[in-house]
């Protein structure tokens, strides 16, 4: 159903409107990131008070979510095979990942895609001359209102590294960024895979994306080292909460076996697998949507 090619409208027949020259998907992506950044900035400038309140709330929620595990680790000097400082690093890593997720996928329910599908709002995407994947990648970009958790994550990570014997080399920084990007991709892909149910059952599965996301919110802050190999495998494959913070943190602390030093290879591989599965299922879902449409439309928060 999707035509991925971006046509060069300047070559249309004489007399027709000449659109701006499309240089390729990368430029479209950048142009739309700019557009959504501007929309977000306008919200920040117009409703500054509410926007700031929203950002502060985000940070409080992030800190509150890690407080329990942090206090336990302080009380017992670490647990689950990790020391207190290592747990603090893992928690910071988790907030950093949440920060990336919020930055790119908070807006317009992009991180809760079952709402868009279940409310019949994909129709809005289909009448835009932009490939669906570019809309999904750009629509939720909130560099101003969605940046608070990322800033908090950066500060926490830097702070936690002071208490750890980690050599912060450019390769380590690259590994950290690759790991956090992969963890974000795993969370996003998992949410999208589950959200595909909304194609076939829009009313029942409209709110399934927040439910699919919640295990990551609840469990990613726990060190899984104390669990049996079976459960560790489960949490790093079929229910990949361990890939959101625990396993990549161990790799970065060089406590997990790996051929590339701190690079969290397994997380990156699993992210690729999950993204491929999500892409395949979403494409199937779009075909189903093209065949049967969505028998309902809910206008609120229309995108």
Partner 1 sequence: MENMAAPDILALDIVDITKIYSQWQRTGQVRDILRNLIHPQKKEIKALEGLSLQVRQGEFAAYAGANGAGKSTTIKILSGILKPTSGSVRVLGMDPSVSRLELMRRIGVLFGQRTELWWDQPVLTSFEWKKSVWNIPDSVYKENLDMVTELLDLGELLHTFSRELSLGQRMKADLGMLLLHSPQVLFLDEPTLGLDVLAKRDMITFLKKINKERGVTIVVTSHDMDDLEEMARRIILLDHGHLAFDGSFEELRRVQGGLGRVRVTVSEDAGAGMQELPGLTLEEVKDNVYEYAYNHEKSSMQDILKALSCLSGIEDVELKRAPIEEVIAKLYRSWK
Footprint of partner 1 on this chain (CB under 8 A)? 1-3, 5-7, 9, 13-20, 22, 28, 31-32, 34-35, 39, 42-43, 123-124, 126-131, 290-293, 295, 297, 299, 301-303
Q: Which residue number, 5 or 228, has a Cβ lying nearer to partner 1?
A: 5
| Contact between 175 and 266 (Cβ < 8 Å) | no
Q: Which residue number, 226 or 290, has a Cβ lying nearer to partner 1?
A: 290
Helices (H) and strands (E) in the chain, counts: 13, 0
Q: Which residue number, 130 or 239, has a Cβ lying nearer to partner 1?
A: 130
Scored b (16 or more CB within 10 A) or e, 76-112 reads: eebbbebbbbbbbbbbbbbbbbbbbbbbbbbbbbbbb
Closest distance to partner 1 from the beta carbon of 296 (Å): 12
262: nearest Cα among 245, 248, 241: 248
Q: Which residue number, 9 or 237, has a Cβ lying nearer to partner 1?
A: 9
Closest distance to partner 1 from the beta carbon of 124 (Å): 7
182: nearest Cα among 264, 82, 251: 264
Supply 23's token pair. 């240089």
The whole-angstrom separation of Cα 135 and Cα 129 is 10
Q: Which residue number, 131 or 153, has a Cβ lying nearer to partner 1?
A: 131
Q: Which residue number, 60 or 203, has a Cβ lying nearer to partner 1?
A: 203
Closest distance to partner 1 from the beta carbon of 100 (Å): 24
Closest distance to partner 1 from the beta carbon of 77 (Å): 48
The whole-angstrom separation of Cα 221 and Cα 242 is 9
Closest distance to partner 1 from the beta carbon of 3 (Å): 5
Supply 120's token pair. 């019949």
Closest distance to partner 1 from the beta carbon of 195 (Å): 19
């Amino acid at each position: 159903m999707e035509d991925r090619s971006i046509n060069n409208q300047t070559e249309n027949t004489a007399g027709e409107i000449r659109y701006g020259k499309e240089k390729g998907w990368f430029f479209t992506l950048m142009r739309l990131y700019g557009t959504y950044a501007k929309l977000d900035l306008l919200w920040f400038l117009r409703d500054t008070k509410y926007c700031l309140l929203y950002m502060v709330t985000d940070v409080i929620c992030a800190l509150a979510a890690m407080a329990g595990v942090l206090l336990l680790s302080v009380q017992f000097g670490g647990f689950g095979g990790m020391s207190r400082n290592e747990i603090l690093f893992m928690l910071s890593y988790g907030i950093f990942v949440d920060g990336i997720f919020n930055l790119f996928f908070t807006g317009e329910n992009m991180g809760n895609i079952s709402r868009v599908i279940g409310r019949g709002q994909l129709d809005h995407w289909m009448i835009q001359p932009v490939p669906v994947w570019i809309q999904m990648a750009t629509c939720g970009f909130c560099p101003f209102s969605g940046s608070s958790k990322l800033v908090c994550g950066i500060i926490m990570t830097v702070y936690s590294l002071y208490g750890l014997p980690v050599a912060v080399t450019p390769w380590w920084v690259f590994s950290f960024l690759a790991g956090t990007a992969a963890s974000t991709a795993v969370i996003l892909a998992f949410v999208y895979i589950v959200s595909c149910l909304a194609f076939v059952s829009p009313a029942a599965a409209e709110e399934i994306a927040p439910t699919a996301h919640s295990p990551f919110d609840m469990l990613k802050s726990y060190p899984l080292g104390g669990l049996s190999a079976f459960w560790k495998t489960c949490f790093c494959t079929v229910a990949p909460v361990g890939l959101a913070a625990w396993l990549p943190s161990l790799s970065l602390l060089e406590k997990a076996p790996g051929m590339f030093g701190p690079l969290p290879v397994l997380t990156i591989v699993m992210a690729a697998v999950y993204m491929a599965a999500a892409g395949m299922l979403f494409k199937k879902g779009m075909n189903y949507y093209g065949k049967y449409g969505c028998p309902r439309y809910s206008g609120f928060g229309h995108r």
